Amino acid sequence: MSNNTITAAEALNIAKLITPTEQGIASRVLARTTGGNLTLFAFDEGQGLSEHSAPFDALVQVIEGELRLIIDGKPVIATPGTLVRMPANIPHSVEAPKPAKMLLIMLREITLKAE
């Protein structure tokens, strides 16, 4: 299964693929496969995602602005060009002290069966 919402074989400016929402959070799924998802988020100042966990690892890559992540109680400040791993089944939250954009890469575990 593959569900991609970005143009193939074209160099795209990742920051321009999403339009921020005033006093809110915007998201856009760029690709969805059985192996995982790529989702772009734009947070307005003061917005965030409350504490939750996911059944698989996730990577956050900050595109613009700054994010404050809390992962298993540990604060992590992420800025453009940084990559943060959030382990599976570990509580985490995201807060944007100023407007920010991030790429969320969700990695599902793939198990191969012997034939």
What ranges do the domains of the chain cover? 16-107
Q: Which two tokens stand for residue 75?
A: 């604060």
Q: pTM, whole model, 2 decimals?
A: 0.88
The answer to whether 47 touches 101, Cβ cutoff 8 Å, is: no
Q: What is the DSSP letter of 34?
A: T
- Euclidean distance between CA atoms 61 and 103, whole angstroms: 5
Contact 94, 58 (CB under 8 A): no
- Please answer whether residues 52 and 88 qualify as being in contact, where contact means their C-beta atoms are separated by less than 8 angstroms: no
pLDDT of 108 reads 86
User: What whole-number distance in Å separates Cα of residue 4 and Cα of residue 75?
Assistant: 33
For the stretch 26-44, pLDDT in tens is: 999 999 988 899 999 999 9
Name the superfamily (CATH) of residues 16-107: Jelly Rolls (2.60.120.10)
Tens place of pLDDT for every residue, the chain, 115 residues?
Answer: 445 678 889 999 999 999 999 999 999 999 998 889 999 999 999 999 999 999 999 999 999 999 999 999 999 999 999 999 999 999 999 999 999 999 999 998 655 566 5
